[in-house]
Structure formats: structure tokens, C-alpha cells
Amino acid sequence: GAVVSQHPSRVICKSGTSVKIECRSLDFQATTMFWYRQFPKQSLMLMATSNEGSKATYEQGVEKDKFLINHASLTLSTLTVTSAHPEDSSFYICSAPGQGRGNTIYFGEGSWLTVV
């Protein structure tokens, strides 16, 4: 079946540095991918919609200059957390819809980011 792979699964970075998280659809094309953030014991909060070949659409309150999203191909979206701070430490997870609205959503494995 369809698979979405996310890398890295865990990353520790120093304050002020940037870290990139990749989300790949392994056996299907994903013109749209979604990025979520989940703090401990909280829900998945949608950060942005990644659109292949065009700019990402950010949810209200999400800083687009801090969370850079690039969707350069039909199988890869990247999220770069720039100038990371400890409060950015969280679980980040991507998803991609199978074929469109109302079809199965495939999630990546998620990435734990710890900023020290």
C-alpha cells in the first residue's frame, strides 16, 4: 500500500541553528502534503499545506519565515525550522492524501525535534 516516509525520526539541534525534515511519498505522487505539529499530550495542529510547484499555505499564527516549506517534486516536501528555539521542540508529522478529498490519508512516521 501507499507509504509516506519521514526523516529524521529524531533530531537534536542547538538554539539558533536550522533543521530540515523530509517527507516522501514512496509509491504515489503527492501534489499536496500537510505538516502538523504536536506538543506532548496535545492534538495534531495543522501548520501548513505544502503544494508542489507553488508556495505553501500557512495556517493562522504559523510564521512562514520560520517554518520554510519546499515541495520541489511530486514525492518530496521538506520542512525547515529556522533559527530554532527550545519552544520549537515538538513532534512534527507530515501527511499526504491518497488521491484526493475523502481518500485515505497517509502519515509519515513523525520527527521528534529537541532544541537545546
Partner 1 sequence: GENVEQHPSTLSVQEGDSAVIKCTYSDSASNYFPWYKQELGKRPQLIIDIRSNVGEKKDQRIAVTLNKTAKHFSLHITETQPEDSAVYFCAAEDSSYKLIFGSGTRLLVRP
Interaction between residue 110 and partner 1 (CB under 8 A): yes
Q: How far is Cα 5 from Cα 26, in angstroms, rounded to an integer?
A: 7
Q: Which of residues 49-68 bind partner 1 (CB under 8 A)?
A: 49
Interaction between residue 96 and partner 1 (CB under 8 A): no
Extended strands (E) in the chain? 4-7, 10-13, 19-25, 32-38, 45-51, 57-58, 67-73, 76-81, 90-97, 105-107, 111-115
Provide, rounded to whole angstroms, the least separation between the CB of residue 96 and partner 1: 11
47/81 with CB nearer partner 1: 47
Q: In this structure, what C-alpha cell is assigned to residue 36? A: 502538523
- Using CB under 8 A, pick the residue from 58, 89, 109, 114 that binds partner 1: 109
Residues of this chain that interact with partner 1 (CB under 8 A) are: 32, 34, 36, 42-46, 49, 91, 93, 95, 97, 100-102, 104-105, 107-110, 112
